[in-house]
Amino acid sequence: MEPTPPRKPKPESRPFYDIPDHLPTSSKIISEARSSLRILKTRRPCTPKQDERTLFGKASSRQPENRPPSAFSLGSRHFDGSESRPVSGSGSGKDPTTRPHSGTRLTPLDVSPKSSTDFNTTTAPRPPADPNRPIRHKSSKTRLQHSTSIDGKIEENHHIRTKSGSLSDVTHLEETNNEMTKLLDGRRVHSGPTERTQHLIEESGVGNGTETIGRPPSSVSVSSNSDLKRDRSDSGYDTRQGSGKSSSRQGSGSSSHGLSGSRGIGSSGKREEESPKEAEYYNQHIGPLIEEMQTLSKDKDAEKVVELSNELYKVLENGNLLGRVCKRRSAILKTIFKLLDTTEPKTLLAVGRLILALKVTGNNLNSVCRLLFKVGKEERNDSLFMEDNILELMLETAQNTSPSNSADALVYCLGALKFLSSNMTVSKQLAAKNCLQSVASVLDTIQSLINEGVKASQQLSNVLVQATFILRNMADVNVDRTKFISLSIIRNLAAFMNNFPADFDLVLNIVRIFSKLTMHSDCCLELSNQPNVYKHFLQLLTKHTDKNNLVVRICFVLGNLTAKREEARTSLFGTRKCIETLQSVFKSYLESNLQLMQNTCENEEEQKHKLFETEEVLIKLIRLIANLSIEEEIGHRLATNKTLVSWLLQIIDIKDVMSSEELVLNTIATINNLSYYSIENSAITQKQTELATCLMKLLLTDHLEGMVEASRVFGNLTRQKSVRDLLAKNKVNEIMVTLLDSGSREVVYTVCGVLINLMADEDKRGTMKQENGIKKLIEVLRDFGRNDWQLSSMVCQILWNYSIKIKSSNDCFGDQETSDLIELLIEYLDEEAALDMSLSEDLDTDMKDYMRDVWQCDFCPVASQLLSKVETHQSHFEPLEQPI
């Protein structure tokens, strides 16, 4: 059978490495270059699990005064019967219609309520009115305005006619309450606190004579500016000592839930008439549950509370009364608030679920979020959150809570979700309930505030720390990774690195998220496309050089980006002070590591841990340098960096591959990349003798990967005759021949690269035959040839170099070896025979095409010329002796 391509020698003699003109060359040249320059992989830095569930953890850089507490007491007293005002410090936004609030509940006024029969008792005498001032009788609405210092308006159906020097004509609020109207008419405009608490006023039409002092009539609505309408919508006003407010009670049905035709306070902040249908639904379905709950508040029947709370939720849901639409929402809230004086988590969650569903605001929102946080601190309670729809309500609350006005509430809500997302079972439920969308909404809101000029405050960063904790946990879940891109999560996180560079907790969380996401190409592309992202990373390295847990992750992320995209390499290296920053970090951690090695520490475990931490940084940093060096221009500059090369040599010389495996292997791989560039002023070339001496030690170890990496470097260094002579002097050529029997394709491949160069010197060819190297090469060709045409090509190149001065094939290779070699080459050069045996059914079409190209471009040109040379010099006749 005639082999293909033809075996006849061409008129022109050419070296084996010349490629025929009719064969493609570009792909082969690129392939050969890339086979010498390797991208390094490494394991992702381990993220330790928090032992305790707290807001920021023990390792937080925050001072206690700059963060909300993780431990606190919580009970019914922390909830307001009315949501009259936000808690001070809950956000940076200020509501002009509400006064500052300390966040501490004040003691109610110590006044005992009187019965309705006491209205005719003698009242305390009033100081005389100013005789020169016209007497103006104020309605209950006017008194309410003064007592609360809020500009309000009386409803349109109440008319006040005021003229200078005349009395106000006040219409009766309720025809059945003449006595109360007389008392109000006799009230001075500027009455003091004592006078305001002097008389009992019964709310017309609904009271039973036991109402709290100073409550406005039910027919008067409170109308104020903007958010105050909403904030005061639940139940009138709180009685707070020294606050200047009237006592707080629910508007209608405060003492009896079942009174039909009562008036309630709606979500707009006004008392709204309850329709007969609404009253009937309340009396038949809601009222009985409220009444039973009021009896349970004392009995502390946990199971019954849970049962009634869930039943009340269903009743409100069926009547479309969840949210802020229920007219008697305040009465419901006041009742369920009293059920919170318990430590039973199931009860707290059942009641908390109701409170969230009723869309509380202000202090109550803060308190219910604290409640969820407190329950979530215990890992044993995680399963309780998966019941009913508590997770959906928490996500909805997080998404709709303002980071500027209710920052503390949002911190605790997200903190509870952070705890839950650390549980893999719950995190999968959160993923299914669109947790990423809710957290992404928080990020969008904060970024919008910053873009609008709002200061990147501590409160906003506290919120972001909790949000990024959740994202960090969710990145481990098998969720749609593209959501991190489509929801602009990566974009916002990259911007926050610039907005909050000094917040170590936040940037650490962000980089931890990136360390997980950048293991995927699509996320790498998204992150690398963010403006100034490399500048931000380098700035963080400079600012937090001593924080090894941050530095190691930044280097890992940058290593991932530069491993996957050439544009990332050029962009990073082109960033101002890139190499200076990387060298500064390198120097700092190398010196620290070497110092730890030299010093003895009493605590041996602690010393090992510190050594491990510094080595981890060096591993990731050296990997980054190796990946950068793949780009030719960058590789040239790094190869001429004497300082950098000297540090790499120092690591190889000092470190043991058995104890510091990844560090040594990454260092050798980096030197391999740099040694690929044979350029003038190369620091590798200048130190090649020192480098070769260090690497020869690895060939004497039992570490297979170390031997492979060292052989790769020798493949580049042996282009220099001085290195070949050094290796031969130290019998490295004999070691290389011996390694042909290793049985590892990877080892054999790298060894063949070294032998190709060694066989260029005539004085080193004898070792090949003496160590039985020809037979070993033919065995390699037989064992690996059909499945690795690149390796087969390298074997043919070794034999070609070895036989440059051939006179007789039998003398050069040996009789049996020559016969076996010719037989194999003929077989392998036959396309049908060679490819049918190597292209198994398990390979896909692309792989089969690739192997065919390698066979055609790499193997055939060399093998055909070698076969021609061997056959040409083969003879079955013995040479005649020279005549005497």
How many residues appear in the chain?
Answer: 884
Pairing of strands 169-170, 263-265: unpaired
**pLDDT value at 14 more than 60:** no
For 20, 375, 750, 792, 796, the CA distances from 858, given in Å and listed in that order, are: 11, 67, 16, 9, 10
Residue 804 or 210, more confident: 804
In the predicted model, is pLDDT for residue 714 greater than 90?
yes
DSSP state of 807: S
d(CA 644, CA 622) in angstroms, rounded, equals 10
What tokens does 79 get? Answer: 């909830």
State the pLDDT at residue 862. Answer: 94
Separation between Cα atoms, residue 654 and residue 656, nearest integer Å: 7
For a pLDDT cut of 70, what percent of the chain falls above it?
67
pLDDT for the residue numbered 137: 45
| Higher-pLDDT residue of 737, 564 | 737
User: Bigger pLDDT: 813 or 165?
Assistant: 813
The answer to whether the CB of 143 falls within 8 A of the CB of 187 is: yes
Cα–Cα distance between 713 and 697 in angstroms, integer? 13
Q: Flag whether pLDDT at 113 surpasses 90.
A: no
Q: Which of 523, 525, 448 is nearest to 492 (CA)?
A: 448
The residues, any chain, with a CB within 8 Å of residue 536's CB and separated by 6 or more, are 494, 497, 498, 501
Range with lowest mean pLDDT among 147-151, 185-189, 664-668, 859-863: 147-151
Distance between CA atoms of residues 544 and 623, nearest Å: 20
CA distances from 462 to 396, 398, 401, 459 (A): 19, 14, 14, 5
Lowest mean pLDDT among 26-30, 103-107, 398-402, 603-607: 26-30
**701 — pLDDT class (breaks 50, 70, 90):** confident
- Report yes or no: 693 and 644 within 8 Å, Cβ to Cβ: no
CA dist 559 and 520 (Å) reads 12
The angle formed by the CA atoms of residues 761, 762 and 766, to the nearest 5 degrees, is 115
Token reading at 62: 């925050």
Q: What's the mean per-residue pLDDT of the chain?
A: 76
| CA-closest candidate to residue 446, choices 469, 463, 465, 458 | 463
Q: Which residues contact 539 (CB under 8 A, 6 or more apart)?
A: 501
Other CB atoms within 10 Å distance of the CB of residue 30: 10
Given this model, what pLDDT does residue 187 score?
A: 42
What is the per-residue pLDDT across 181-233, written as a single tens digit (0 to 9) for each?
443 444 444 444 334 333 333 223 333 333 333 333 333 333 333 343 334 33
For residue 499, the model assigns a pLDDT of: 95
DSSP 537-595: HHHHHHHTTT-HHHHHHHHHHHHHHHHH-HHHHHHHHHSTTHHHHHHHHHHHHHHHHHH
For residue 670, the model assigns a pLDDT of: 96
**Which residue in the block uniquely carries the two structure tokens 């510091």?**
660
Q: What's the whole-number mean pLDDT along residues 826-840?
A: 79
**pLDDT at residue 90, rounded to an integer:** 41
Judged against a pLDDT cut of 70, whether residue 500 lies above it is answered with yes
Summarize the confidence of residues 466-487 as an average pLDDT.
89
Q: Identify the pLDDT of residue 43.
A: 61
The least confident of 36-50, 344-358, 477-491 is: 36-50
- Give the integer Cα–Cα distance in Å for 244 and 96: 17
> Given this model, what pLDDT does residue 258 score?
36
- pTM comes to 0.72
Does 839 score more than 70 pLDDT?
A: no
What DSSP string runs through 309-328?
HHHHHHHHHHTT-TTTT-TT
Q: Scanning the structure block, which residue is given the tokens 């039910």?
A: 218
* Residue-by-residue DSSP string for 183-204: HHHT--TT--HHHHTSS--PPT
pLDDT for 251-287, tens place per residue? 333 333 333 334 444 444 444 677 888 889 989 999 9
Radius of gyration of the chain (CA): 42
The pLDDT confidence band at residue 26, using thresholds 50, 70 and 90, is: very low
Contact 409, 78 (CB under 8 A): no
The conformation of residue 53, written as its DSSP 8-state character, comes to -
Compute the average pLDDT of residues 444-453.
95
Higher pLDDT, 296 or 262: 296
Confidence at residue 296, expressed as pLDDT on a 0 to 100 scale: 74
Q: In this predicted structure, what is the pLDDT of residue 732? A: 92
Higher pLDDT, 88 or 294: 294
pLDDT in the model for residue 339? 85
Q: Which long-range contacts (CB under 8 A, 24 or more apart) does 506-510 make?
A: 506/461, 506/464, 506/465, 506/468, 507/540, 507/544, 507/550, 508/547, 508/549, 508/550, 508/553, 509/465, 509/468, 509/469, 509/471, 509/472, 510/468
In this prediction, residue 438 carries a pLDDT of: 96
- When pLDDT is cut at 50, 70 and 90, the band that residue 16 belongs to is very low
pLDDT greater than 50 at residue 5: no
pLDDT digits (tens, 9 = 90+) for 715-766: 999 999 999 999 999 999 999 999 999 888 888 999 999 999 999 999 999 9
Are 622 and 579 in contact by the 8 Å Cβ rule? The answer is: no
